[in-house]
Amino acid sequence: MALRSIDPQETSIPVTDAAKAQDALAPDIPASAPRGKPPAERWPVILETSGWQDYALLDMGHGRKLERYGKITLVRPEPQAMGAPRLSEARWEAADAVFTGDVEEEGPGRWRFSRDLPETWPMSYDGVKYLGRFMSFRHVGVFPEQVAHWDWITGVIRREKRPLKVLNLFGYTGLASLLPALAGAEVTHIDASKKAIGWARENQSLSGLDHLPIRWICEDATKFVQREVRRGSTYDGIILDPPKYGRGPKGEVWDLYTSLPGMLADLEKLLAPDARFMILTAYAIRSSFIATHELMAEALGKRGGLLESGELVIREQRQGAARSRALSTSLFSRWSAA
């Protein structure tokens, strides 16, 4: 697995009074940005992975992508794959599973299989084993572009001389909880889905890591954060990977555009005075990374450190002498204390 960061020039981007006032009347949006020493800012930062033993982007084009997860090859819709495929049609037709249905990232559909496949199949990354599973919303339980964040976070944790307390919100199948815990962190994992929590705990057991200090909590993320603020809890690192839309266990509504600003304001209160990082990733939204960057800049306006924003990218597997193409998957903003 190769990971590369394109290091841009450092910029200084002021927070304007107009930005502070925008949508001030919305219930989940803070009325004004905090004042104090702002973090240094850097953008655009492009973080990319070329895959590892259990993942490869094999080809892409005409609105689709051909991938390998473990020993299983998949074809899924990919609106950003606007060029032409390079591999033969026969290679695409030989895929083990094809997702058909809504072209939206979270749209429903169904899988068509070319052979009998197991309900789950094992894969691994950096000492953590996890199960793949075919979901009705095209996902299989892992977002490979997140490797860039996993490696960075575990590096921060291993360099510290104390166990860091890490909060993982919208934690899904738990890889961003298991890898930090294996590196030495004490992790609190939050997800509103009982099935996702169960899947994450399956991955923990499959890895033989039941001894790790992880709290698995099925709860609405917004309610959990608000309660932690009232309790005066703090964390050394925060990871959040929210959906565009979602519902909590009791029907609580999450809308990224209106819910995220208020959550970031609360999360700043949960960062310990000597906290090390906070990472936000956003998928399937019609916004630039500049939007998430500005939200993070407002929420962390007194924190100093460094705020970086850009895109997570997967580099396709090289095919002969042809140039290896890149596929953008998501936006991110990452604050670090140093």
Q: Where are the domains of the chain?
A: 3-50+142-336, 55-133
Percent of the chain beyond pLDDT 90?
76
Question: What's the pLDDT at 299?
Answer: 94
Which residue has tokens 């580099």? 315
The confidence band for 131, taking pLDDT boundaries of 50, 70 and 90, is very high
What SS3 class is residue 169? strand
Q: What are phi and psi of 333, to 5 degrees?
A: -135, 135
The confidence band for 36, taking pLDDT boundaries of 50, 70 and 90, is low
What SS3 class is residue 31? coil
Whether the CA torsion 170, 240, 216, 255 is positive or negative: it is negative
Which residues lie below 8 Å from residue 131, measured CB to CB, with a gap of 6+? 120, 121, 122, 123, 141, 173, 199, 202, 203, 206
The confidence band for 27, taking pLDDT boundaries of 50, 70 and 90, is very low
Question: What's the pLDDT at 225?
Answer: 98
How far apart (Å, rounded) are the C-alpha atoms in residues 271 and 144?
Answer: 27
Length of the chain: 338
Q: In this structure, which amino acid lies at residue 165?
A: K
The DSSP letter of residue 50 is -
Using the predicted structure, report yes or no on whether residue 33 has a pLDDT greater than 90: no
DSSP assignment string, 300-319? TTT--SEEEEEEEEEEPPP-
Quick one: which H or E segment has residue 104?
none
Q: Angle CA(137)–CA(85)–CA(119) in degrees, nearest 5?
A: 30
Domain 55-133, CATH among 3.30.1490.190, 3.30.590.20, 3.20.20.140, 2.60.40.1180: 2.60.40.1180
Which residue has tokens 């460094």? 306
Q: Rg of the Cα trace of the chain?
A: 20
Which residues lie below 8 Å from residue 211, measured CB to CB, with a gap of 6+? none
Tokens of 333: 């903003």
Nearest Cα residue to 195 out of 139, 266, 259:
139
Using the predicted structure, report yes or no on whether residue 149 has a pLDDT greater than 70: yes
Domain 3-50+142-336 fold is Rossmann fold (3.40.50)
Nearest Cα residue to 225 out of 168, 273, 174, 276:
168
DSSP assignment string, 226-242? HHHHHHT--BSEEEE--
Question: What's the pLDDT at 31?
Answer: 45
For the entire predicted model, the pTM comes to 0.86
Using the predicted structure, report yes or no on whether residue 79 has a pLDDT greater than 80: yes
